Chains A and B, each alone.
Chain A
């Protein structure tokens, strides 16, 4: 019982952070599945969503700013795809990755300019930050909401991919880009839908994530972004359930490490996990095997 009292807060925090990472990781894994691109800008978009929330909440009622944050982030995601990735569709993979790094650099500098380099306080969403007690461990409402919301969204997403026409198109494109284009699938439309879903989930994740923290900085997005990507690799890139499982594993392990008093290594752990998985099973937990053809 003592053990439970000691570790429950860490595990609860881990599940909550894991859920938030899962929402970001889905964006990574879907874009990678279709474009074979690590969207380095995804983490920064998550940060921008947080900043938009900060500025919206100063002028508008909370419910309206939440809706606006979701819409603006989706528009931003599609704009990035349209401007920075679409012109390079025929280019080598390295240049599109460099373009993603350039977008990330631009978004961070833009945020730096707008915020003036200061940490901005995230608006309090009272309903999410209400204190509750679970089995003697005091925590915030967001801890409970996050995993539930994550699972609901993931189920909806899986249904979308398995049952709808656009979902079928997405599966086809991720299997074979060129053949599906030959079969009459509008590739650009599929990619746009992918970015819409990814950005939407990143925006939801950002609201949940930042309401756990007091402040937001231009560099706040890069670390969660990288961790979410590691989660996607861990679960097998291209696989949505894999990304979710990976994110929960990373979130929980990280908080247990914090509980052991090794906070400096909580970030490093994620990357150790990444390297171990790449060594042992490069395709991840649920990934499909890829064979290189000459």
Chain B
């Protein structure tokens, strides 16, 4: 009997999830058309795109830190590889001489996959050309992910034998090595040295990053719920016990590391497209720290938490708290609100979360329809229970009975 009830509620939840996702995509599509780049609501689109990209990176970091228990701080380095792997092969041949202006003949590489496929499938104006263009982008993104994963595989062999903080500092070190490698003049004909890469193929509609990130996150969720995911969690909870139960520690750590890096690479490629230009210098350890803080805000070990945390983080830093920099916030005007004040407030809030609310928004729980419905269903009862709670200050026993009654009434 209970099984049937569970089955029907699972089916209902699936339908609800599909409806919600479809509604979300339609909403993004409509918003993308309605909101002009010049309007003040464009902030919403910026936050939506950047938040989605950061959500993907945060979830990939959560796979490592939250689900496998590997405290890795190399995310920015892997994003950098992905971003460059994408951008280098997506600059149209005719733009290469201007982008690679300091290198003879426009650098070493002279083709762009999206533009090539566009021409092959009917040119810029034809429908087939557009498909070819996006096919090229997607293929390049997969390439970016694979390259990142390959490098992560090699890095993982020595690094993953280290424990906790040594692992953190070693991955941080590798990220810095990667960054200085990409800035090296010797690689200039390919990476443009320390100069900016720009004019590469990018998406037109905000729905693209949302779709790509959605598919990637769905894959990560499926992985977490698989037997591999259970092995990851067992490593997180107790390495020695997991090993004793026959979980191959190194193999599973390496797997988690490589998959996480793959999606960090894809995220990096998306970030490159979002920014329309890419340079190695902002991919410092500070970027990794920001992503880590997003994971902490959302809850270490919760995918939905990371997503919520990422949108909140980006919305606060790019939009809602902007007023703090301009001297006017929520109608309050003050002289000390000069550029940079927003970030100070933000950092204080984050410290507050880290110190007093270290479980984050979701803890290790996930969003579920049942949880949401339960929340609303018990809301009136809980509001009705507030006087009871106040009374409970006087007699704790009475309060226990009260809540029991409320539960029975349901």
A290 to chain B, nearest CB (A): 9
What residue of chain A has the Cβ atom nearest to residue B178's Cβ?
A: A268
> A61-69, A97-105, A201-209, A238-246: which lies at the B interface?
A97-105
Q: Which of A95-131 contact B (CB under 8 A)?
A: 95, 97-99, 101-106, 108-110, 112-114, 116-117
Q: Is B292 a contact of A101 with CB atoms below 8 Å?
A: yes
A13 to chain B, nearest CB (A): 20
B173 at the interface (CB under 8 A from A): yes
Contacts A104-B289, A229-B169, A294-B240 given; indicate if A272 touches B177 (C-beta within 8 A): yes
Contacting residue for B344 out of A88, A110, A274, A294, CB 8 A: A110
A265 at the interface (CB under 8 A from B): yes
Q: Is B339 a contact of A116 with CB atoms below 8 Å?
A: yes
Contacts A97-B165, A219-B286 given; indicate if A113 touches B343 (C-beta within 8 A): yes
Q: Is A275 a contact of B159 with CB atoms below 8 Å?
A: yes
Contacts A105-B293, A113-B338, A117-B339 given; indicate if A222 touches B170 (C-beta within 8 A): no
Q: Is B285 a contact of A222 with CB atoms below 8 Å?
A: yes
Q: Is B180 a contact of A267 with CB atoms below 8 Å?
A: yes
Residues of A within 8 A of B286 (CB): 105, 108, 219, 222
A233 at the interface (CB under 8 A from B): yes
B111 at the interface (CB under 8 A from A): no
B364 at the interface (CB under 8 A from A): no
Q: Which of B118-170 contact A (CB under 8 A)?
A: 158-159, 162-166, 168-170
Residues of B within 8 A of A265 (CB): 180, 184
A59 at the interface (CB under 8 A from B): no
B81 to chain A, nearest CB (A): 15
A7 at the interface (CB under 8 A from B): no
Interface residue total, chain A, C-beta cutoff 8 A:
48
Residues of A within 8 A of B173 (CB): 226, 230, 270-272, 274-275
- Name the residue in B165, B174, B293, B350 with the highest tally of chain A Cβ atoms < 10 Å from its Cβ: B165
- Name the residue in A105, A116, A267, A292 with the highest tally of chain B Cβ atoms < 10 Å from its Cβ: A105
Q: Which of B342-377 contact A (CB under 8 A)?
A: 343-344, 346-348, 350-351, 354-355, 358
Interface residues of A: mostly helix, strand, loop or mixed? helix
Interface string of A248-279 (1 = CB under 8 A from B): 00000000000000001101101110110011
- Whole-angstrom CA separation of A267 from B339 in the bound complex: 31
| Residues on B facing A (Cβ under 8 Å) | 65, 71, 158-159, 162-166, 168-170, 172-174, 176-177, 180-181, 183-185, 240, 284-286, 289-290, 292-293, 296, 300, 338-341, 343-344, 346-348, 350-351, 354-355, 358
Known: A101-B289, A114-B340, A226-B173. 17 other contacts (CB 8 A): A37-B165, A88-B358, A93-B165, A97-B168, A98-B354, A99-B354, A102-B293, A102-B350, A104-B289, A106-B347, A112-B340, A113-B341, A116-B339, A222-B285, A264-B185, A270-B173, A275-B170
| Residues on A facing B (Cβ under 8 Å) | 36-38, 83-84, 87-88, 91, 93-95, 97-99, 101-106, 108-110, 112-114, 116-117, 219, 222, 226, 229-230, 233, 264-265, 267-268, 270-272, 274-275, 278-279, 282, 292, 294
